[in-house]
Amino acid sequence: MQRGPHRRPASLTMIKSNSSTKLDGPIYSRAQLANVRRVVIKAGTSVVCNPDGRFSLSRLAAIVEQIAELQLMGKECILVTSGAVGCGRRQLRKQALLGTTTRQQLTAASSSEDVASASGVFYNSACASAGQLGLMSLYDTLFSQCDISASQFLVTSYDFTDESRRAHLEYSLEQIIEHGMVPIINENDAVSGNQGYTKENVFSDNDALASIVASQMGAEV
């Protein structure tokens, strides 16, 4: 997603058009992308975060700039993002170290990965809670630089399987989009635990979540 200072992203060059007419059927060629009205963008953990758990400012800034350009073209954008767990894991480790002595830090250094792995789902849920605030704060800062307001939606499978909750979610999303804002959607891992496909869960990760959102919200891409 990184760009040179004078090069226009190929994706934006391809999609640029004065038309925002909704397509009536499947997209069979790149030329048809110019006529899309609503787009869902999915940013995975490997895009949002660097290997050390820090946010990738260059990649996130590039994504936000491209969304801003799409908005200026009259497109409606929905962003599905990951990254809270990765960032939160680093935050929890930092906080744990701040509360220990030097000897305890040296002892724990070799076992920190094992502790995180053994804690499993519950540890990841805590990581999501620790990292979500920083993730949204960064998005808010980046979008504000492009004079765009963003809105946060944290969802679980029940928001799509329960008819009442799904209707409220769709209405809220439509209102945010109608007012020119960018909804940023993430799974509420702190509550759901992201336990994968189960009888109750309709998605196991944000890839599947992005697909469901695109279908529910009538996005062409």
pTM here is: 0.76
Q: Is the pLDDT of residue 67 over 70?
A: yes
Q: What pLDDT shows up at residue 91?
A: 80
Q: Is the pLDDT of residue 96 over 70?
A: yes
User: What value does the mean pLDDT take over residues 16-29?
Assistant: 52
Q: Which residue has the higher pLDDT, 80 or 89?
A: 80
Q: How confident is the model at residue 29 (pLDDT cuts 50, 70, 90)?
A: low
Q: What pLDDT shows up at residue 98?
A: 76
Q: What are phi and psi of 48, to 5 degrees?
A: -70, -40
Convert the chain into a string of H (helix), E (strand) and C (coil): CCCCCCCCCHHHHHHCCCCCCCCCCCCCCHHHHHHCCEEEEEECHHHHECCCCCECHHHHHHHHHHHHHHHHCCCEEEEEECCHHHHHHHHHHHHHHHCCCHHHHHHHHCCHHHHHHHHHHHHHHHHHHHHHHHHHHHHHHHHHHCCCCEEEEEECCHHHHCHHHHHHHHHHHHHHHHCCCEEEEEECHHHHCCCCCCCCCCCCCHHHHHHHHHHHCCCCC
Q: What pLDDT shows up at residue 92?
A: 83
